[in-house]
Copies of this chain bind each other. A is one copy, B any other.
Amino acid sequence: MATIIDVAKKAGVSKSTVSRVLTNNGYVSEESKQKVLDAMDEIGYIPNLLARQLQSGVTKTIGFIAPSYMSSMGKFLQVFMESAKNNGYFVNLYLTSGDKQKEIEALNQLKYKQVDGIFILTRTNEWDVIKPFKQYGPLSTWNRIEEDWIYSSFVDHYEGYLMALNYLYRQGYQKIGHVLGFYKNLNTKARVKALKEFHEVNHLPLDEKWLIQSNFKKNGGRQIANMWVESTDRPEVLAFYSDQTAAEFISEIELLGFSCPKDVGVLGFDNNEVSELMHISTVDYSLEKQASNSFAYLYNELNEKKIPIQELKIQLIERKTLRRL
């Protein structure tokens, strides 16, 4: 490994001079500069980033924590990384398998100065245990949370869900089932609020049996499909908290000889790849913009130059899993 000193010797100058041309800092005569450049070329010199980072205390990399590889993550990760790359940052990916300890290890990377900031797609630990890491660098998340120590790129699921439910109502659906996410999630709470209001305003009975808290496990949608098939009092339509779960549901009922929207309507949420493939009507909420905002926040905290945060929109995408009037 050639070092700055080898270059200095070769060029017949001191290592400080080499450092100066490397960083473009301070005065260097054209002559020495040329000598140094030539020497670097000859030797094939490569600066050691590690040493630089140790010196500057900056790694130019962001940690991306996710519980596991979810299909809805794809687009998000792609855009996040794109933004990062465009702004000179690398991305370190940590998959925790939903293991609290592993999440902490990943967060520790911030302490250990291995990353400058961290993005948490979906948290596993309580916020209380995550919060202390804030002192080591900026945090941002996809979870919905309204606090000042962490940035959350979220859209208002209350409004989004209400809009979606009203759409279902206009299509003539009356018996609506709801498949929600983790109950502690703020998005879930927002949705619960929306759906209670919706049922109340429209005088529709709310069947608690079809107010499902999905447990996030893989193939949760398939379990719900079996529930639905075995049910004696089936809802006409199911509104899911994610396209993935909706896709699993549809996949399973098809296996069981049912079809959609003939036997049951399905509304997804995310507008991800799978929903397009399977023609699932869904709600788009600017996932791409959320991703770039998530990075933008971290970047803005870390640098002087600011990237603007983009505004988010919610929009219903009509495809083929809901009946049309």
Contact = CB atoms under 8 A, between A and B. Distances in A.
Interface in A55-113: 59, 61, 64, 68-69, 71, 74-75, 77-78, 81-82, 85, 90-95, 97, 102, 108-109, 111-113
A50 interface: yes
A277 B255 contact: no
Interface residues of A, number: 48
Contacts of A78: 68-69, 95
Contacts of A201: none
Nearest to A90: B92
A90 to B, nearest CB: 6
A21 interface: no
Interface string A235-250: 0000000000001101
Interface in A107-135: 108-109, 111-114
Question: Counting chain B CB atoms within 10 Å of each CB, which of A46, A95, A254 scores highest?
Answer: A95
A108 to B, nearest CB: 8
Given A92-B91, A93-B92, A93-B93, A69 B75 contact: yes
A250 B278 CA distance: 9
Nearest to A78: B69
Contacts of A71: 71, 74, 273
A205 interface: no
B251 A112 contact: no
A48 interface: yes
